[in-house]
Structure 1
């Protein structure tokens, strides 16, 4: 009753998942599984744009060089070249789909290109300041109307079904168990190919710019299925996220600091000059570390970003969205400082994949933030993430279309004969809150051996509790997410403990120097 068959199942509906679905749907029966609505992923929140070599004065070599520098010696040069060389084709495909990028008649490309931190040229094509939304809305219309694409909203994947779990000789991926949240039933989906496109894991931290759906589901499912995971210690933090109980994940753009905003303590004392001669205009990671240090040293909940010394008319003209949003929350930025905290923003690591987005498991692919392609190294260059989604989605499509047609494997139904309804939901919410708080305190922007050991100890205790709960009670969305979050947290801590240096986004007070040789941190299931 709850068994379905598809040619390709895509778990996740961000830019990577949508791009892949549309590149396959002419000849394949595709299912897109998304645990909320079609537009509820992180891609829809992306403000900046997509980096691509489009301008006449730009070059592939310059974009590659900028990416390698940002990646602090850990980028895979072959993967970086592959992505950059395919950047123009990716943008042209989006334009063909009808994405309304901002135009500029004076530019030879016909489009306005902006420049962001770390880039040597103007190469960011964008749709005003809401690029992700413009792209997602455009592609969503095509997804919804395509006869070969089945959209499964409010469905959350639980676990992959592999040959090893079925007692087969192969360890290929043959399907996935998915909870239909509307009906409260677990469905079994069989497919010749499964693609993880489920995004990042920002919700493992107390403060994040990510949407609520970013709970590390793909990394956790891939690891349980037997995939290697790499470089999970490299978590990018944005320095200024609005701190307010009713302002979930609202960013305060770096342009506020660029226009003269200063960071202060509650009493108005500035502190950035003590950390870097560039003060508030220091790079993102430097500013984030400084704020983090002040908060931990003084036991603060937040610091403040003050630009009230600028004329009110100037602020309303340059930052209308920030002005309006803060005013809704009772903060008048023309007269008051803005409470801010750093927030987890992007995961550079993930499931190890090759140039065709293949994982270690036959039939299983990973694309987007869930994957570790080697492009980002130890620190992601701005606006390379949406580009990576596009290029590897198209690479996965080409590889899938080359594979021979094989009959689906008969899969067992989900067995819940030995579980009951949960008696105390408070266990889930309590563990979720505890996990996010100690990950923020112990595995955040600045790390020490002692903090990592404390986090690992608590993760082990939580894992035991959650696994016991999972074995005894029927699954729910919150339980599935919590199970994935605690595993993802464990993988982040394991990677961080193995890196005995400070490089890129990983900063350790016990190992402040950078080693001469750059090496990836690779975890293998079953190995200690």
Structure 2
């Protein structure tokens, strides 16, 4: 556990509610809190660097004739491989329609048919078509545009751009604010933003991996900060790898949306053989973990995998999937005439800060929503297009909880003092950590690799010193790896080649603290040191 109090620096009153993160979860929560005064902390200009804006799929909601929230919840539970909280799955499915209406009222231009009704698409592991899209693959971008416009017109919301949170401030066992620094500064200038209520909506952990579809700034800082303050973390070992990132040199990797397979695109190897039909009854629309491992296996065996949309989409590609089409063009690929080379990439973290049905963490004064939180809705394997839904459902629930349970605080301080950023960046250490996570804590895992990863993470942690960004990055990696080493089975996004079967004894969520992860890491390092002394290993 690591927290500190401010001495000799700046203390700024951020007002009543401080929201860390300006993606979908953060901005939606802020709008739902209006007219309550809110400060939103954004590491970059709002809209830039938010994973939400990159979402190509859409939002799952049982809004079409014949579909029901109960069926949506059942699909969510099935995809989650036995550890989804059924009450939470039903909760988000039941509130989906109302949240879609909220987004429509904010001006989100969801796709409609000629009669003006919302159109819905099919994505993997859904039993029905229930995904609302915008222009095929532009849902995230369009939703963020609408939210940003609404936020800028809401006088109760103050945006602080260019600042990153690196530590929670604790007073008498309660979260009292966050320590922040100018974005990119690895040596923190002392600035504490105080608030009566803190909401973490800081995103996921994709940047911990060498191949990811997420912004590189998404490195697990939010759940690492919470863990360092003593919060309980849930399910960190469950990492979802998107099967179809466009393979190539770009970092992060562009995504070939799930909706392409929903539209009929197939997966083939370099010989043109469609390989998923022999692996899963739903072929390309099987659960993401199954499809990702199948593609990884083709590549590991020296082959190449491709997404072939020539027959299913063909000449309509540019209009139907403009984002994917543009990314393909940038990489010299013509998806109308040739298959798209694909590979699995870290896409979504099912783990995060353990929260209840109102988004409350185990720390008084701290709420969390979006990818930084673990609500129990995703289990071991998130159902496609449930992430944006979960973000808005929990954003609304957190706002309702704060409005109903926390008295309004004082007005925010008008100005933030100028802070000098020191822009040294240990790129080599960051890349080394990303390599370790990709090699040992990736699509396929085993005890030997996870043990090696934990040993390397401890070594990197010692080299990182007191750099806040690296401390949080290493903390997040340690929690994911320790939980993966402990879970001796395969389930959903967690696949152990040395324990390939699902074990009923592990049919429960993981709840872990940083102290527990540290203890396991110490045991692993101590064991290795003893082996070295005895000459068993070099």
- TM-score band w.r.t. shorter chain: 0.7 to 0.9
Question: Which of 264, 267, 289 is the equivalent residue of 2:269?
Answer: 264
Quote the offset at 1:317 in angstroms: 6.5
Equivalent residue number for residue 120 of structure 1: 127
Equivalent residue number for residue 524 of structure 2: none
Once the two structures are superposed, the pairs formed by residues 481-496 of structure 1 within 5 Å of their partners are 481-496=469-484
Q: So what's the TM-score if we normalise by structure 2?
A: 0.84
Equivalent residue number for residue 144 of structure 2: 136
1:526 aligns with 2:533: no
Quote the offset at 1:145 in angstroms: 2.4
Q: Is the 8 A contact 2:52 2:140 kept in 1?
A: yes
1:77 aligns with 2:86: yes
Cα-to-partner distance string for 1:450-489 (whole Å, 9 max, x where unaligned)? 11011111001001111x2x2xxxxxxxx54332221111
Q: Is the 8 A contact 1:9 1:32 kept in 2?
A: yes
How many residues are paired up? 497
Once the two structures are superposed, the pairs formed by residues 39-438 of structure 1 within 5 Å of their partners are 39-40=47-48, 41-106=50-115, 110-128=117-135, 129-163=137-171, 170-181=172-183, 185-246=189-250, 248-254=252-258, 259=264, 261-265=266-270, 268=271, 270=273, 272=275, 276=279, 282-298=286-302, 303-305=305-307, 313=315, 321-333=323-335, 337-405=339-407, 425=424, 428-438=426-436
Q: Is the 8 A contact 1:76 1:374 kept in 2?
A: yes
Quote the offset at 1:126 in angstroms: 2.4
Q: Is the 8 A contact 2:125 2:286 kept in 1?
A: no
Quote the offset at 1:244 in angstroms: 2.4
Equivalent residue number for residue 445 of structure 1: 443
Cα-to-partner distance string for 1:420-475 (whole Å, 9 max, x where unaligned)? 968xx46x111111111121111101111111011111001001111x2x2xxxxx
In 2, Cα distance between equivalents of 1:147 and 1:260: 46
Change (3 A) 1:454 1:310: same
Quote the offset at 1:175 in angstroms: 1.0
Cα-to-partner distance string for 1:399-425 (whole Å, 9 max, x where unaligned)? 1112343778xxxxxxxxxxx968xx4
Q: Is the 8 A contact 1:498 1:521 kept in 2?
A: no
Change (3 A) 1:451 1:270: farther
Q: Is the 8 A contact 1:105 1:111 kept in 2?
A: no
Change (3 A) 1:430 1:400: same
Change (3 A) 1:380 1:227: same
Change (3 A) 1:361 1:283: closer
Unaligned runs of 5+ in 1: 164-169, 409-419, 471-478
Quote the offset at 1:89 in angstroms: 1.6
1:511 aligns with 2:506: no
Unaligned runs of 5+ in 2: 1-8, 411-420, 520-538
In 1, Cα distance between equivalents of 2:106 and 2:340: 39
Quote the offset at 1:521 in angstroms: 1.2
Equivalent residue number for residue 526 of structure 2: none
Quote the offset at 1:309 in angstroms: 8.7
Quote the offset at 1:318 in angstroms: 5.7
Q: Is the 8 A contact 1:202 1:210 kept in 2?
A: yes
1:500 aligns with 2:500: no
1:456 aligns with 2:454: yes
Q: Is the 8 A contact 1:211 1:249 kept in 2?
A: no
Which secondary structure does the structure 2 equivalent of 1:62 belong to? Answer: helix
Equivalent residue number for residue 417 of structure 1: none
Which secondary structure does the structure 1 equivalent of 2:504 belong to? Answer: coil
Which secondary structure does the structure 2 equivalent of 1:526 belong to? Answer: helix
Quote the offset at 1:79 in angstroms: 1.4
Q: Is the 8 A contact 1:158 1:179 kept in 2?
A: yes
Which secondary structure does the structure 1 equivalent of 2:455 belong to? Answer: helix
Which secondary structure does the structure 2 equivalent of 1:98 belong to? Answer: coil
Q: So what's the TM-score if we normalise by structure 1?
A: 0.86
Change (3 A) 1:239 1:136: same
Which secondary structure does the structure 1 equivalent of 2:195 belong to? Answer: strand
In 1, Cα distance between equivalents of 2:143 and 2:216: 20
Change (3 A) 1:53 1:295: closer
In 2, Cα distance between equivalents of 1:320 and 1:95: 22
Measured on the aligned residues, the alpha-carbon RMSD in Å equals 3.1
In 1, Cα distance between equivalents of 2:403 and 2:58: 29
Change (3 A) 1:331 1:115: closer
Quote the offset at 1:200 in angstroms: 0.5
Change (3 A) 1:172 1:303: same
Equivalent residue number for residue 4 of structure 1: 12
Equivalent residue number for residue 28 of structure 2: 19
Which secondary structure does the structure 1 equivalent of 2:501 belong to? Answer: coil
Change (3 A) 1:404 1:280: closer
In 2, Cα distance between equivalents of 1:260 and 1:25: 43
Quote the offset at 1:136 in angstroms: 1.1
Quote the offset at 1:4 in angstroms: 2.1
